[in-house]
């Protein structure tokens, strides 16, 4: 059959990387401002890269251990593919972070020159480097490995191992980055207010640089690894289902002249790669359109970019499917996911930017307690529609294409990965540009431009996060199905007869209870980790003000490196426990209690993890914007510094680890568990 279609990702992928390279050099070639700006920019870049290189060292040790285990348990192919999945994630993170930390100071400079369109363009290009690297490298990796191994009998192992590599890095990058960014943020804030009473972003505060580093570490590197992993897991779960599903599960997929099972299975395996390739091509187009619109309103440029991708993807699929002899059911499943993602994004935007934040601000007038209560209620309410949309997308795609359809819906939701990631990485660049302007003492006009760009970033970040978590849930549903099929596929090959993973099986029920615990373990440990790390930072800042003569008067330089060091070490230390739980929980349950208990565990952690992470992410975003609502003077009679504002700051503080550490940490937990379970399925299937 048309196996040359497998080469398509290997053409579009490298093109995307070339474009990323072009953006990278374009950004680097922009003017980088005065000496102060450069010094601060360098601090931030060095801090970010220092964190990354230390983190990579830790991850190298981890990877070597896992590779040894994989080599022992599943052979060298698994070890190599695991390495590839992990390495490409690190590579994408490295390039994206470099670009972002060049772009931030240059965005500030463009704003200093008074050109908002140029500033927007630089921030966008900087983000696009990450976006294209993530999508391009992920696609190239899966396609190349599958092409190499597709005629052997290790196909499944190749895919699963690659996904586990991607997941492992995402797990640690997300949790470590999340702890870093919020420890630095909270630490610098508390120290500034409590110890020395100096304003936010003041250059005397040695924690401010770490705070800016944190934005890159968390929202660029961490988010990038997370989205890379989601895309990989979605493609892999769809291909895994395609490889193991009984023939009846693919009925109706192939239409026209050749509707044989062989054709259907070939289509099923190839489509996830092809659709993702189309998605990447469309993303390239969307990014260039966005660049052309640079003179428009930044908010609508970014927002429309996110929402146009699903439309183009659906149209493209509608055109291509008949050419392949594939049913339009694929297009329907794909569209269910792609539009579902868009709706989830818009709902997330509503809950973190509209009426609900006004209600939070109003609740703050009767105290911090009522403000926190209202934020928690908003967060809880905010999960309802997104989860219902996921259920609906799953229901539609399943109706037309069975379980395989659910996986295709996940691929569809992640079709615009490059655009989503571009917009996500844009956020911290604009945010950093503002911080650098402030610290360098640039004027109000400059801040006005960076503030506008930053504000846009906050809203689009919410949409992006909605996409990310929504796709994670759909992906985990697909991974879960893939796991269940793999178990029975292996049993059949071994002549052991299939087992039914029944809800009436006590092992499944016990697994369900165990699974429901895990997200809370990750939530609790990441919340306390942020508190502990922030405490060490507060102490070090206090020490510097005590021991460096002239620092408080602005006559001496602070030592930001020390804070960056402390944050880095604390984040890397604190990420070990939750990370280990995520990876070993499925292994322990699987080998100790068997495949049925593990299936229950996955179901329990999916139900709890999906809702809890959405709740935490959205509550955090809502509190943050509730505070900003008051700061902008929108709540009559209560301005910045009022009691209501102080109450809102309490909500914001609670929301910090909610939205940037625990929420994302729990969402990655459920993905990692799904991927690891899929990998070990062959080893425990005969339990």
- Using CB under 8 A as the binding rule, the residues of this chain from 358 to 387 that contact a copy of itself are 363, 366-370, 372-374, 376-378, 380-381, 383-384, 387
- How far apart, in whole angstroms, are the C-alpha atoms of residue 96 and residue 125? 11
Q: Which of 414, 172, 112 is nearest to 282 (CA)?
A: 414
For a copy of itself, the closer of residues 370 and 536 by Cβ is 370
Exactly one of 105, 231, 233, 608 binds a copy of itself (CB under 8 A); that residue is: 608
- How far apart, in whole angstroms, are the C-alpha atoms of residue 28 and residue 19? 14
For a copy of itself, the closer of residues 604 and 664 by Cβ is 604
Does 501 participate in binding a copy of itself (rule CB under 8 A)?
yes
Contacts of a copy of itself in 31-60 (CB under 8 A): none
Does 607 participate in binding a copy of itself (rule CB under 8 A)?
yes
For a copy of itself, the closer of residues 293 and 401 by Cβ is 401
Contacts of a copy of itself in 609-648 (CB under 8 A): 610-612, 615
Contacts of a copy of itself in 382-411 (CB under 8 A): 383-384, 387-388, 390-391, 394-395, 398, 402-403, 406
Q: Where are the alpha helices (DSSP H) in 150-295?
A: 155-190, 207-215, 223-244, 261-292
Kindly state the greatest CA–CA separation across the chain.
83
State the nearest-atom distance from the C-beta of 678 to a copy of itself, in Å: 14
- Relative orientation angle of helices 35-74 and 417-439, to the nearest 10 degrees: 140
Contacts of a copy of itself in 426-485 (CB under 8 A): 473, 477, 480-481, 484-485
Does 530 participate in binding a copy of itself (rule CB under 8 A)?
yes
Assess contact for 369 and 347: CB atoms under 8 A: no
Using DSSP, state whether 254 is helix, strand or coil: strand
- Number of chain residues interacting with a copy of itself (CB under 8 A): 79
State the nearest-atom distance from the C-beta of 394 to a copy of itself, in Å: 5
State the nearest-atom distance from the C-beta of 405 to a copy of itself, in Å: 8
State the nearest-atom distance from the C-beta of 58 to a copy of itself, in Å: 24
- How far apart, in whole angstroms, are the C-alpha atoms of residue 112 and residue 444? 10
Does 502 participate in binding a copy of itself (rule CB under 8 A)?
yes
State the nearest-atom distance from the C-beta of 622 to a copy of itself, in Å: 12
For a copy of itself, the closer of residues 264 and 581 by Cβ is 581
Q: Which of 630, 617, 643, 647 is nearest to 357 (CA)?
A: 630
Contacts of a copy of itself in 277-336 (CB under 8 A): none
Exactly one of 528, 554, 557, 592 binds a copy of itself (CB under 8 A); that residue is: 528
State the nearest-atom distance from the C-beta of 652 to a copy of itself, in Å: 8
State the nearest-atom distance from the C-beta of 109 to a copy of itself, in Å: 35
For a copy of itself, the closer of residues 156 and 244 by Cβ is 244
Does 357 participate in binding a copy of itself (rule CB under 8 A)?
no
**For residue 428, what are the CA distances in angstroms to 130, 131, 323?**
12, 13, 42
Assess contact for 372 and 446: CB atoms under 8 A: no
Which residue's entry shows tokens 């002239």?
550
Assess contact for 670 and 184: CB atoms under 8 A: no
For a copy of itself, the closer of residues 50 and 190 by Cβ is 190
Does 137 participate in binding a copy of itself (rule CB under 8 A)?
no
Does 650 participate in binding a copy of itself (rule CB under 8 A)?
yes
Does 604 participate in binding a copy of itself (rule CB under 8 A)?
yes
Assess contact for 505 and 593: CB atoms under 8 A: no
For a copy of itself, the closer of residues 424 and 660 by Cβ is 660
- Relative orientation angle of helices 298-324 and 261-292, to the nearest 10 degrees: 150
Exactly one of 111, 329, 420, 606 binds a copy of itself (CB under 8 A); that residue is: 606
**For residue 199, what are the CA distances in angstroms to 18, 191, 358, 367, 553?**
43, 10, 26, 23, 14
For a copy of itself, the closer of residues 4 and 197 by Cβ is 197
Which residue's entry shows tokens 């700006």?
37
- How far apart, in whole angstroms, are the C-alpha atoms of residue 3 and residue 348? 41
Contacts of a copy of itself in 507-526 (CB under 8 A): 508-510, 512-517, 519-521, 523-525
Exactly one of 600, 621, 665, 674 binds a copy of itself (CB under 8 A); that residue is: 600
Assess contact for 138 and 621: CB atoms under 8 A: no
Burial 613-649 (b: 16+ CB within 10 A, else e): bbbbbbbbbbbbbbbbbbbeeebeebeeeeebbbbbb
State the nearest-atom distance from the C-beta of 101 to a copy of itself, in Å: 29
State the nearest-atom distance from the C-beta of 459 to a copy of itself, in Å: 23
State the nearest-atom distance from the C-beta of 129 to a copy of itself, in Å: 35
For a copy of itself, the closer of residues 69 and 510 by Cβ is 510
Contacts of a copy of itself in 193-232 (CB under 8 A): 194
State the nearest-atom distance from the C-beta of 398 to a copy of itself, in Å: 4
Assess contact for 174 and 226: CB atoms under 8 A: yes
Exactly one of 652, 671, 674, 680 binds a copy of itself (CB under 8 A); that residue is: 652
Does 183 participate in binding a copy of itself (rule CB under 8 A)?
no
Does 5 participate in binding a copy of itself (rule CB under 8 A)?
no
- Relative orientation angle of helices 155-190 and 116-149, to the nearest 10 degrees: 150
Using DSSP, state whether 277 is helix, strand or coil: helix
Q: Which helix (H) or strand (E) holds 676?
A: helix 663-684
Using DSSP, state whether 152 is helix, strand or coil: coil
């Amino acid at each position: 059959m048309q196996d040359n279609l497998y080469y398509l990702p290997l053409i579009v992928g490298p093109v995307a990387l070339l474009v990323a390279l072009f953006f990278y050099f374009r950004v680097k070639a922009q003017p980088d401002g005065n000496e102060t700006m450069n010094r601060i920019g360098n601090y931030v870049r060095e801090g970010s890269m220092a964190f990354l290189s230390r983190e990579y060292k830790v991850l190298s040790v981890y990877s070597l251990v896992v590779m040894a285990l994989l080599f022992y348990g599943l052979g060298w192919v698994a070890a190599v593919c695991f390495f590839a999945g992990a390495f490409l994630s690190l590579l994408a993170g490295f390039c994206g972070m470099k670009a972002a930390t060049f772009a931030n100071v240059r965005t500030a400079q463009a704003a200093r020159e008074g050109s908002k369109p140029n500033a927007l363009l630089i921030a966008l290009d900087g983000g696009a480097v990450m976006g294209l690297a993530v999508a391009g490298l992920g696609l190239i990796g899966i396609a190349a490995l599958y092409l190499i191994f597709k005629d052997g009998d290790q196909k499944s192992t190749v895919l699963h191992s690659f996904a586990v590599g991607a997941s492992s890095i995402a797990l640690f990058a997300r949790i470590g980055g999340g702890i870093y960014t919020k420890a630095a943020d909270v630490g610098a804030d508390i120290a500034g207010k409590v110890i020395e009473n100096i304003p936010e972003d003041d250059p005397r505060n040695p924690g401010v640089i770490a705070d800016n580093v944190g934005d890159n570490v968390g929202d660029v590197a961490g988010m990038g690894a997370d989205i890379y992993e989601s895309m990989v897991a979605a493609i892999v779960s769809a291909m895994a289902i395609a490889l193991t599903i009984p023939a009846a599960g693919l009925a109706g997929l192939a239409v026209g002249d050749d509707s044989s099972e062989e054709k259907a299975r070939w289509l099923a395996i190839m489509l996830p790669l092809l659709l993702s390739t189309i998605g990447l091509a469309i993303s390239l187009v969307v990014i260039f359109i966005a660049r052309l619109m640079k003179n428009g309103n930044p908010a609508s440029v970014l927002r429309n970019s996110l929402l146009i991708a699903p439309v183009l993807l659906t149209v493209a699929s509608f055109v291509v499917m008949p050419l392949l002899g594939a049913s339009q059911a694929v297009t329907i499943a794909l569209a269910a996911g792609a539009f579902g993602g868009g709706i989830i994004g818009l709902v997330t935007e509503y809950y973190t930017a509209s009426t609900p934040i006004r209600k939070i601000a109003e609740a703050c007038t009767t105290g911090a307690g009522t403000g926190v209560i209202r934020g928690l209620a908003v967060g809880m309410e905010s999960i309802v529609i997104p989860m219902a949309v996921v259920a609906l997308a799953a229901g539609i795609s399943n109706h037309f294409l069975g379980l395989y359809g659910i996986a295709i819906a996940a691929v569809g939701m992640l079709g615009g990965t490059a655009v989503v990631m571009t917009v996500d990485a844009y956020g911290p660049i604009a945010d950093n540009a503002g911080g650098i302007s402030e610290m360098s003492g640039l004027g109000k006009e400059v801040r006005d431009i960076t503030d506008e760009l930053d504000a846009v970033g906050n809203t689009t970040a919410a949409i992006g996060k909605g996409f990310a978590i929504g796709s994670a849930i759909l992906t985990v549903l697909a991974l879960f199905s893939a796991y269940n099929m793999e178990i029975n596929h292996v049993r059949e090959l071994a002549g052991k007869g299939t087992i039914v993973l029944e809800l009436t099986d006590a092992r499944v029920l016990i697994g369900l209870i165990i699974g429901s615990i895990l997200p809370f373990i990750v939530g609790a440990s990441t919340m306390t980790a942020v508190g502990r790390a922030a405490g060490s930072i507060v102490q070090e800042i206090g020490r510097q003000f005590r021991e460096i003569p002239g620092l408080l008067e602005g006559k001496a330089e602070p030592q930001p490196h020390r804070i960056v060091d402390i944050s880095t070490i604390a984040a890397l230390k604190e990420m070990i426990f939750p990370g280990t739980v995520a990876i070993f929980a499925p292994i322990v349950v699987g080998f100790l209690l068997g495949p049925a208990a593990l299936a229950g565990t996955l179901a329990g952690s999916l139900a709890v993890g999906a809702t809890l992470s959405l709740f935490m992410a959205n509550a955090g975003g809502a509190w943050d914007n509730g505070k900003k609502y008051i700061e902008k003077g929108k709540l009559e009679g209560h301005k910045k510094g009022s009691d209501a504002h102080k109450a809102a700051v309490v909500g914001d503080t609670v929301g910090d680890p909610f939205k940037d550490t625990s929420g994302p940490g729990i969402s990655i937990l459920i993905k990692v568990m799904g991927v690891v379970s899929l990998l070990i399925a062959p080893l425990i299937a005969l339990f």
